[in-house]
Structure 1
């Protein structure tokens, strides 16, 4: 059921009640940036658990590891189905380049990109009263790359390109020392001129597209535009471009535009935003940090403090952060490292030893749960996986199935986006669905990313001269071992029968898994 303009003339309470009814029967059209579980399946699963109907494109149109997305056919699909939806959540990267990886590797000319961009105006003219939410990304600047997810030259010269552009960014912001100037010149001499020119040309196309999306947002075509900053750093080409794009968007209110680090969480954040808009809700969120660097941490792969990012995520999802609200709709507990330095979850330092600070942190979570609050945990103490000490203590206290949401995967922004987005939505789900969504995250973020991945790599991949980014002939053996270990983990820590769990490597690499829990 579409929400009609005439609703604004009825009493506010009735508007609110009708909004809830409309949202619970609402249909969301969702175009993901690719078919990875965190981009597609997890978002759709969360939406459907919240009683939303989701329209997603057929698999053959969506970017995957071994094929590019089809922007023109995706646009046609959106055109054919937009009239059936109450809100559209659209990946700009998918609709303009084909997908997230395609945004880095495509060979499209400016005329083609501009023509696809103009379709946003055609969409608005055809459906002027439908809420449109768009998310896009600033092209990432990783310190290295493997597996064909950047242009081929980046695998050899990526470290030099990162360092060169980081120094150029720093030069603009605060200047360089003599040593840094020499390092800049050294990197410039190493990188082939044609490779650097190609990379900067790709970035310029991406910058121009994002600038145009900001302008379309300014013109009122979008209900909200969310700009993510994929793998970045305090000084980097991505940081430089985001500074410039933020200046371009400086006149846009926070209720229309946000930008923050991360890419893979953007669909989940906008799902929560669409739901909150449809229900006329503005969730009040309280944020609680573990002792230590807390909100002043600057995590790996990001370019700003955690405290700033969390507020931006909550606002983008349609909520508001208050310091001491009497009745928060959601409490987000953020587990940061005591020092502010983010190690990898596969590090030997990710042990089960509980520190006094973590003990106190879990005490607070337990008190919130026992008080009947909606409690989410954003576990960002380590990058690319959960904190073993935190999770072991939550398990010991039987708190794992009591949370509203948990996340601890990949970058801090990815984790925060899922904790906030799912946290806002899972209070609306059945208890069985809430526990299932939690179990998927525990099996992925804690079991696999923090523990099983490293073990399988050391025990099977390297001894067999395999590659973590191309599993190929090792994939059947790794899949069988993965599923066995996920089930062993569930038997030890979770509440569901292990035989319900299946797990696969959807992108033929060790970086991510797809965890499924069959219904009982």
Structure 2
């Protein structure tokens, strides 16, 4: 009997619940800690609680999916706030040695983020001073990197000197010292791969860019990985909150001795070459990284594929990418001329008619679905025929989520197990409700119309939490009624709508799915 243990990055649904939902659609049982010991936002999990849970659960486990950020710092946000020394961080990694000593056969897949550097002023998930100096710290890092590469222009040299004067010394020291500590922890993690304590390791690049602190640290890690000839066991690519899904998919493929072949189909000819917002490399290179980390292989022809990943890609990168709540007329002109929606839908219909598994990576916009695409899918009656979908937050978040689900569905494609299918459809429709319904439609409506009159802010709805959660539930139920109520496949029931961090950015809910017939 296989036992897979998973320590998530934090307690939010994307990190804890999504992998659980994927596992529920398989024959693998995923063991996770209770939400109570995982901390909450800026409050770190207690190291001894995490250590005790890991040692207890891994005694008889075959696989461990391990967030080093949770183990060492107590979560993703605490990794940006802690005052731990290098020695304290390295000492906490000794738990991995303890796990291997009591269970030599366990396979450990770990991940540890390269800390993000947001290019805006906000202390919601960063130190308090980031509310004032965040944008300047980010810009300073970019110029520091360009200076190190010998690419600094004359005006940028002047800006660099000015920024160094504007940012208080103690603030810059606090920020850079923490980054050095986190980077040192990552370097030690590479050593653990070298000596066999960690079997596979991912360094996700959280909200990164071509230049900056993240880029510099990535280079240092990559040089060491290459020097130790560990390129086959360590991956570095853009991502963060989807890695739990990615590594569960890798474990799933390993347990079932399955190497899925995925064919990637784009909505834009330029799509593969675009560098998405919050990332540092072309979309095609990111997809290749996600596929290989998930246990899949990219194939050149659809005839060889177990599934087709339809990638709704932007035709313009970085700041030119649209947000889902922008009016269509306000988007960059490439959304009109370099994305062919009709052909994309036509190709999808063709592959579905051939009984192929189809997953959709909706990454043409940031932070939600592209409504133009979604309404076309609805109009053509395709929503019930798609196997997997994701269109949330960053491109990397969406890719990792939908690829993992697509891989699982490709494995079970010709197997009829109604209970398993119902669990898979539950996760699929949850993605539509959250990514399309909440992130694209309801979040903006509530933030614009209800938050101000209730005296709250986007990042703090605690004073009217129950009222706002009730409004969100009503609006999501209306969304389901208008867009997902076709009775041909099954019925959806929305329950327990909450705002995990008492802000508008994310939502949690339970979506029960009652299957009526298989189409």
Change in 2 beyond 3 A, CA 1:334/1:392: same
- In structure 2, the partner of 1:406 is 389
The structural deviation recorded for 1:401 is: 2.0
- Quote the Cα distance in structure 1 between the aligned partners of 2:245 and 2:144: 34
Q: Which moved more, 1:144-153 or 1:172-181?
A: 144-153
- Quote the Cα distance in structure 2 between the aligned partners of 1:385 and 1:466: 23
- In structure 2, the partner of 1:181 is 157
Q: 8 Å contact 1:436–1:517 — kept in the other structure?
A: yes
The structural deviation recorded for 1:317 is: 0.7
1:283 and 2:260 are equivalent in the alignment: yes
1:184-195 equivalences in 2 (<5 Å): 184-195=160-171
Q: 8 Å contact 2:123–2:130 — kept in the other structure?
A: no
Change in 2 beyond 3 A, CA 1:372/1:164: same
- Quote the Cα distance in structure 2 between the aligned partners of 1:475 and 1:404: 34
Q: 8 Å contact 2:492–2:511 — kept in the other structure?
A: no
Q: 8 Å contact 2:124–2:459 — kept in the other structure?
A: no
- In structure 2, the partner of 1:312 is 289
Which of 488, 493, 498 is the matching residue for 1:504?
Answer: 498
SS at match of 1:146: coil
Which of 459, 472, 475 is the matching residue for 1:485?
Answer: 475
Q: 8 Å contact 2:123–2:129 — kept in the other structure?
A: no
Q: 8 Å contact 2:60–2:103 — kept in the other structure?
A: no
Which of 387, 391, 395 is the matching residue for 2:378?
Answer: 395
Deviations 1:337-396 (A, max 9, x none): 223332222223389998770111111112111111111111111110000011111111
Deviation beyond 6 Å, 4+ runs, structure 1: 350-356
1:343 and 2:328 are equivalent in the alignment: no
* Structure 2 residues without counterparts, runs of 5 or longer: 515-519
Change in 2 beyond 3 A, CA 1:519/1:334: closer
SS at match of 1:461: coil
Q: 8 Å contact 2:366–2:393 — kept in the other structure?
A: yes
SS at match of 1:382: coil
Q: 8 Å contact 1:487–1:498 — kept in the other structure?
A: no
Which of 264, 268, 280 is the matching residue for 1:303?
Answer: 280
Deviations 1:209-267 (A, max 9, x none): 01111111122222211110111111121111112211111244554111111110111
The structural deviation recorded for 1:399 is: 1.1
Q: 8 Å contact 1:345–1:385 — kept in the other structure?
A: yes
- In structure 2, the partner of 1:383 is 366
RMSD of Structure 2 on Structure 1 (CA): 1.9
* Structure 1 residues without counterparts, runs of 5 or longer: 2-25
- In structure 2, the partner of 1:438 is 428
SS at match of 1:400: coil
1:251-290 equivalences in 2 (<5 Å): 251-290=228-267
Q: Using structure 1 for the length normalisation, give the TM-score.
A: 0.91
Number of residue pairs aligned between Structure 1 and Structure 2: 496
Q: 8 Å contact 2:113–2:205 — kept in the other structure?
A: yes
- In structure 2, the partner of 1:454 is 444
SS at match of 2:241: coil
1:420 and 2:414 are equivalent in the alignment: no
Deviations 1:71-125 (A, max 9, x none): 2221111101102322110100000110011111112222221210122122222
- Quote the Cα distance in structure 2 between the aligned partners of 1:351 and 1:175: 34
1:45-84 equivalences in 2 (<5 Å): 45-65=21-41, 67-84=43-60
SS at match of 2:281: coil
- Quote the Cα distance in structure 2 between the aligned partners of 1:462 and 1:86: 51
- In structure 2, the partner of 1:360 is 343
- Quote the Cα distance in structure 2 between the aligned partners of 1:452 and 1:147: 24
1:114-129 equivalences in 2 (<5 Å): 114-129=90-105
Which of 460, 466, 472 is the matching residue for 2:456?
Answer: 466
Which of 249, 260, 282 is the matching residue for 2:225?
Answer: 249
Change in 2 beyond 3 A, CA 1:406/1:354: farther
Change in 2 beyond 3 A, CA 1:182/1:379: same
Q: 8 Å contact 1:254–1:315 — kept in the other structure?
A: no
The structural deviation recorded for 1:411 is: 0.5
Deviations 1:472-512 (A, max 9, x none): 12222211111111111111221454544442211101110
1:96-111 equivalences in 2 (<5 Å): 96-111=72-87
Which of 22, 31, 54 is the matching residue for 2:7?
Answer: 31
- In structure 1, the partner of 2:517 is none
- Quote the Cα distance in structure 2 between the aligned partners of 1:219 and 1:96: 19
Deviations 1:149-207 (A, max 9, x none): 11111111010000000111122235111101111111111100000001000000000
